[in-house]
Amino acid sequence: MRIYVFLLSVFLLIGCGVDEDDNGAVFDDNITVTPSPSPTVEPPFLNTGDDTLLLEQWSIFKDEDFYRLNGVDEDAHIHARNSLNTFSGKGIKVAVIDNGFEIHHPELSSKIISTYNFKNDTKDIDIIADKVSHGTAVTGIIAASANDIGIRGIAPDVELILLEMPDFLTDSNTIEMFDKAVALGADVINCSWGTGNVSDAVREHLNNLASNTSEGGRDGKGVLIVFASGNDNSLMGNDESSVEGVFGVGATSSENLRTSYSDYGPDLDIVAPGGEFLGISTLDLLGNPGSSDDEYIRYNEVKDGQLAGFVGTSASAPILSGVLALALEKNPNLTADDLKELLKVGVEKTSRNIPYMIDIELTNKSNPIFRGTLGTESNSEFDLEIRTINGSFIGRYSISFEGDGTWSSTVTDNLGNGEYKARLLGQNITYATDSSFIVKLFAQDEISNGYSRNDFYGYGKVNVDLLLENIN
Amino acid sequence: MKQLLILVFLTLTLFSAEQANFYYERGKKVSLEAIPSVQRSVNNINYYQHANGSVVGVSDKILVKFKHFDESLLKKYSLSIKKQYSPLLYLLKNENTLSTLDISNQLFNEDSIEYAHPDFIRKVSFR
């Protein structure tokens, strides 16, 4: 899991030289900005279950009020309206290889059919003392019950195989973990982790288990193996998520952008929501030892004064795993290759301009500096977005300027009361370092590291209804 | 006394010989940088760093995929079978005095071997 806490965390665009009109547009002497248009209205969503936190599950559910109040892009969700009313993963076994499973969680406990602990080679994975909630959060995204409490998983009726893994693995351990998952009957295996280096033996073994051959899982149809691509904003390289037979999943934000952290590259298969400003609401350990003080991690979770939401490609991978369970429920005979081809058709097309996200880094709070890199773009349009520290949307504004691809800005005036004035490539902005606001820039076009947008985004963002419509 | 000196010399020569700092992956050499011995664990695991900065441990175990099983190689390299994962994929234990990297690389060059590499120990990153 990546608990994404911005280094700069506090900026404010208020004060000298900045005015706001009746529509919320912000002006100063050098920047003319226009608020983004209001999102379109969609009819109500699910007709099953009434989970109390469903409205904040922006990744699968578009609640008009939540989207508007939090500035969520109207297409940020996975377009599952029809599918989630029809399919629930019934009859499909999903293995989660992870750590920190809350097997007593009321949203999960009834669907756990097998467990195994590779730390001590027993079936006991009760981890209350460990205070690690990663596996619980991952599993909740897949399988939390559709009922009248809490959140809803993508595939709430799957059967769960929970495999507790150690922090250090030998290659032979890895092979044995996947063999165990397949032996226990897994149709889908979710892996929200990676090592960054895959050996020949592990690569071949994963490909064999995923293959439509006698060595494949699921009685030779091939087990579906899903890996998170990683959170280092770097090329995936020789990672488990790059293995040919594996589904490698990157992360998008509530702005429907590639997140600033998501690893990328030509081996990325697809992206799904992983959150950035807004996290993915999911399950936590019971009580307060986990990431929250109760059994849920909220989209805007704060614990001990720190942002504690579940954010990362760890959240994106189980979204795809849940979606694949729905697909197998509709047609259990689909192979991994079949589904990879179907995903190419069933994704949200990337003709929509998905910007390359840029962070503003506060390098020195006592002497603040804006700093960023724009990839290889030299003349760029930007969206400037302002949120509270808890992620609430304040506004998004279009600005433009020319540059050489990198930029920085130093403080030109200390206005007192914690407010400073700076110049950003010739444009005056004002901010306060002790206020509760976050400012982010998004380049509206992106090329970086020689990879095209399609390489960044694989096939594009998963679109569940389209995917299932194309399955016979 | 002379025989003893020769024995000591040969022993020192054997253990001071430069050990391989690479292995084969997809048929190509991958370089590793040995991490100084002061940082090594005491349980016969040597640690190396990849070019991407990740650290791997190497114990006495080797993963070997045969093209066709050749039992004579077990004796030739002082290897014992620990586990078998598929008809031709084995986890072997290195009983030799040579390093696991050296033995793995020599196995890789045998005609009956498809690939061979240490049973690397890796740190998991939860994402």
Task: State the Cα–Cα distance between residues B113 and B60, nearest whole angstrom.
Answer: 19
pLDDT of residue A99: 95
Task: State the Cα–Cα distance between residues A300 and A303, nearest whole angstrom.
Answer: 10
Task: Give the mean pLDDT of chain B.
Answer: 85
pLDDT of residue B3: 64
User: Which chain A positions have a beta carbon within 8 Å of B121's beta carbon?
Assistant: 168-170
Contact B127 A200 (CB under 8 A): no
pLDDT of residue A454: 34
What is the number of alpha carbons within 13 Å of residue B82 lying toward its C-beta? 15
pLDDT of residue A343: 86
Binding-face residues of A in 365-424 toward B, CB within 8 A: none
pLDDT of residue B1: 55
pLDDT of residue A265: 72
Bridging pattern class, strands A93-98 and A188-191: parallel
pLDDT of residue A414: 52
Residue B19: CB partners within 8 Å, gap ≥ 6? B98, B99, B101, B102
More reliable by pLDDT, A418 or B7: B7
pLDDT of residue A346: 66
pLDDT of residue A306: 82
Task: State the Cα–Cα distance between residues B80 and B75, nearest whole angstrom.
Answer: 8
More reliable by pLDDT, B56 or B8: B56
CA neighbor of A237 nearest in space, from B56, B36, B77, B51: B51
Contact B126 A134 (CB under 8 A): yes
**A192 in contact with chain B, both atoms CB, cutoff 8 A:** yes
pLDDT of residue A305: 82
- pLDDT mean over B110-117: 97
Q: Which two tokens stand for residue A281?
A: 């609401």
- Global pTM value: 0.76
Low-confidence residues of chain A: pLDDT under 50: 1-44, 48, 349-392, 394-395, 397-413, 416-458
More reliable by pLDDT, B16 or B122: B122
pLDDT band at B125 (very low <50, low <70, confident <90, very high): very high
Q: Which two tokens stand for residue B29?
A: 């050499």
Contact B125 A192 (CB under 8 A): no
Residue type, position A123, single letter: K
pLDDT of residue A116: 97
3-state helix, strand, coil in chain A (%, to 5): 20, 25, 55
Q: What is the DSSP letter of B62?
A: E
Calculate Rg over the CA atoms of chain B: 16
pLDDT of residue A134: 95
